[in-house]
Amino acid sequence: MSNAKTKPFEKNIRPVGEVWVWVTGVGLAVGLFMICFLLAVIAWNGINFFWPKKIAEITLSEDGRSAFRGEHTLPGVIIQRRNLTPENLSPTDSDLIDLAESNRDYMREMMVFTGNRDLFATQNFAFLNMGDIESVAFPDDLIRIERNQWGDAIGRPIAIRTADGNEITADTTDFIKTLRMKVDEVRDRRAEIIRIERRQMGRINSFINREELEIRYLRGLRDPSAAQVVELDQRLQRVEELRAELEPLSHASAALRARQNETQFVFEVVGGVIREQPLGDIINFYFPNKMSLTQRFGWFCWKIWEFLSEHPREANTEGGIFPALFGTFVMTVLMSLAVTPFGVLAAVYLREYAKQGPLVSSVRISINNLAGVPSIVFGVFGLGFFIHEVGAVIDTLFYPRMVAINTPVFGTGGILWASLTLALMTVPVVIVATEEALAAVSRGVREGSLACGASKWQTIQRLVLPAASPGILTGLILAMARGAGEVAPLLLVGVMALAPSLPIDDIFPFVHLDRKFMHLGFHIYIVALHSPDTEATKPLVFASTLVLILLVIVLNLGAIMIRNHLRRKLQSSAF
């Protein structure tokens, strides 16, 4: 009725809340950037490790300050070029600042991987002042040799010298083919030696070890009973038999070993330094400067496979990471097997059966807080409770003889205790996730089930748990992600830098829960900090880290796939 004009809407001059859109957006962007950057750095460095890199032949000027062991040419892989800062120069190098006036290169330095650690006083790297570098070339005939000892060698092949004194020089046409053939021969023989020594002899040795422990116990008895005397004899007999079985095998391997070093590979290292390398130590060789892109890629894939499937060499600084990868995998699976039932049962009790009240609330808060306890605390608990208490009890009950001779079986660190310790550490995650999933199952469904005459447990088992299973798996995924990378508590409960055997193998009873094991996280730590040349093992650290991340991703993907499968099943038919 009123004829007054309606008031126009206020003009939106400065959109309300716009600032916060930006602030929150920037927050997210920074977080994402940091994660991507982290992954990119690890992935780049890790992958870089496997890519075959060209070998440069670097020529230094005659009057320059940097000569390499008196020589003026050296082959090596250029790792990086970096600037020198005046503050970091030693007093003797202060004239570089003047030199740099005319040539900026004098304030730059080149880091070169030279290999040949056996010849260069265990040094792997040379640092060359770039002002002294006259030229850098990439001649085709430079070879890189992977060895069993002393890391890689780099040089220029000269000849192959066979046992009977024959020499095949590098300028003959079939030289590379012959070398490949010889190296393959050696490799096959080495595989055979490993098969004999590690598998066949290792198996017999493990039996002998078992017998010897028993013998030690029987010998230590003050006054053995007649039966024990008989047993001792039998066991001594058995050891004799086993030793006899060992005999031909060790002969066979010794014979093979003797043939390994018959042939020598002769190459020029640097300048005129000639080295004779027994072929037995050569694992592989390649001419990176000659490789085409596809060859490089093939080599790259091969190296990755080798890295994943081989045992480490030279105190973990070379070779593969298979035992660590396998140990991590087995430990994580064992942990999941332990943590899931435990966490789910606890959550079911808390959410479904316990009378909600201050007591249950405080229990719940304690569980949440448990998730924040430093992991080393769990390690100490694992050591104090699992190993010293539970393990000791198991040993006295089942291995009284081993207790008597002071060689604990479960009373010392092992993969079982490590898994249980981590299970304990991650159980709060599973409990919290499961509780949430249980709470999300609607009341209507529960009432419907009870109205059908189902008991409470039937309702939980047939309806609530299946409906909650995707949520439970989410909890397990989080638990695995946390558990797989944890190192600190493992140090106390059974991880090893170099374990002699895998936790699962072909010796009865196949799964050895009492064994110590290797773990990728610990492997990274050892390689990064406790190897003689940490600069040289840096790429290995990145590669191992990449594998650790990928392992966690693969385990999680597995769980996520199971979860999606369950979700689909829940949403569609026949559950």
Partner 1 sequence: MSHTFQQKEFKATESGANAMPSSQPDFIKIRDFDFFYGDSQVLFDLNLDIPKQKVTAFIGPSGCGKSTLLRNINRMNDLIDGIRHNGDITIDDYSIFDPLLEVISLRKRIGMVFQKSNPFPKSIYENIVYSLRVAGRSKKSELDEVVERSLRGAALWEEVKDRLSESAFGLSGGQMQRLCIARAIANRPEILLMDEPCSALDPIATGKIEELIHRLKEEYTIVIVTHNMQQAARVSDRTAFFYLGKLIEYDETQKIFMNPGQKQTEDYVSGRFG
Residues lying near partner 1 in the complex (CB under 8 A) are found at: 355-356, 442-455, 458, 462-463, 466-467, 570-575
Least Å from the CB of residue 356 to partner 1: 7
Nearest to 470 by CA among 569, 364, 354, 539: 569
Task: Locate 79 and state its tokens.
Answer: 């790792």
| Residue type at 367 in one-letter notation | I
Task: Locate 179 and state its tokens.
Answer: 């070398």
Place of tokens 């406790």: 530
**Helix H or strand E segment including 546:** helix 534-571
Least Å from the CB of residue 368 to partner 1: 23
547/49 Cα distance (integer angstroms): 12
CB-wise, 103 or 442, nearer to partner 1? Answer: 442
In the three-class reduction of DSSP (H, G, I as helix; E, B as strand; rest coil), residue 81 is classed as strand
Nearest to 115 by CA among 55, 32, 39: 55
β-pairing verdict for 153-161 and 143-147 = antiparallel
CB-wise, 272 or 453, nearer to partner 1? Answer: 453
- Taking each helix axis as running N to C, give the angle between helix 415-439 and helix 322-348, from 0 to 180 degrees, rounded to the nearest 10: 40
Q: What is the DSSP letter of 158?
A: E
What's the first-to-final CA gap in the chain, in angstroms?
Answer: 64
- Write out the E strands in 150-263: 153-161, 167-169
CB-wise, 365 or 445, nearer to partner 1? Answer: 445
**Helix H or strand E segment including 56:** strand 56-60
Nearest to 180 by CA among 289, 265, 119, 270: 265
Q: Virtual CA dihedral for 399, 404, 406, 408, nearest 10 degrees?
A: 10
Residues pairing with 278 in the sheet: 264
CB-wise, 406 or 455, nearer to partner 1? Answer: 455
Chain center to CA of 158: 38
Q: What is the DSSP letter of 68?
A: B
Place of tokens 């829960």: 513
Least Å from the CB of residue 463 to partner 1: 6
In the three-class reduction of DSSP (H, G, I as helix; E, B as strand; rest coil), residue 314 is classed as coil
CB-wise, 86 or 448, nearer to partner 1? Answer: 448
CB-wise, 336 or 469, nearer to partner 1? Answer: 469
CB-wise, 361 or 455, nearer to partner 1? Answer: 455
Query: How many C-alpha atoms does 24 have within 13 Å on its Cβ side?
Result: 5
Nearest to 264 by CA among 158, 174, 189: 158
CB-wise, 22 or 457, nearer to partner 1? Answer: 457
CB-wise, 218 or 566, nearer to partner 1? Answer: 566
CB-wise, 228 or 361, nearer to partner 1? Answer: 361
Least Å from the CB of residue 366 to partner 1: 23
CB-wise, 139 or 448, nearer to partner 1? Answer: 448
In the three-class reduction of DSSP (H, G, I as helix; E, B as strand; rest coil), residue 309 is classed as helix
